[in-house]
Amino acid sequence: MYGLYFYNAASLACRFSSALTKVDVQAQWRSCTQITCVAPPQSPGAVEVSVTSNGVDYSPNFMSYTFTALLRLYSLAPSVGAAAGGGTVTVVGEAFIVGSAVACRS
């Protein structure tokens, strides 16, 4: 997360808030303009992420973060192709995100 005036404090944390839950996780200070937080397990959906340096007062502004369902792959067709590449492969699965940049890699 990027911002301004982050303090290297023991109580530095990120709060992941939805309508039903608030989960605080410890943040790691990188600089006065950058911290990192590990996202906690959540149900799929959007949450608001805010920051605290004292464990009590949270930033009045927040950033949005979206948890997605676990992507599952079921099959490929065809399952073999030429070493030179260029063949079309159909991937069957679930939880693909509509409108996102989808790419395959080997």
Reported as a single tens digit per residue, the pLDDT across 1-39 is 888 888 899 999 999 999 889 999 999 999 999 999 999
Q: Classify 46 as helix, strand or coil.
A: strand
Taking CB atoms within 8 Å and a gap of at least 24, the contacts of 8-12 are 9/53, 9/54, 11/52, 11/53, 11/54, 11/55, 12/51, 12/52, 12/53
Per-domain residue ranges of the chain: 13-67
Global confidence as pTM: 0.69
φ and ψ of 9, to 5 deg = -120, 150
Alpha carbon distance 9, 88 (integer Å): 52
Burial class (CB in 10 A: 0-12, 13-18, 19+), 35: buried
Write out pLDDT tens, residues 72-82: 889 989 989 89
What per-residue confidence (pLDDT) applies to 24? 95
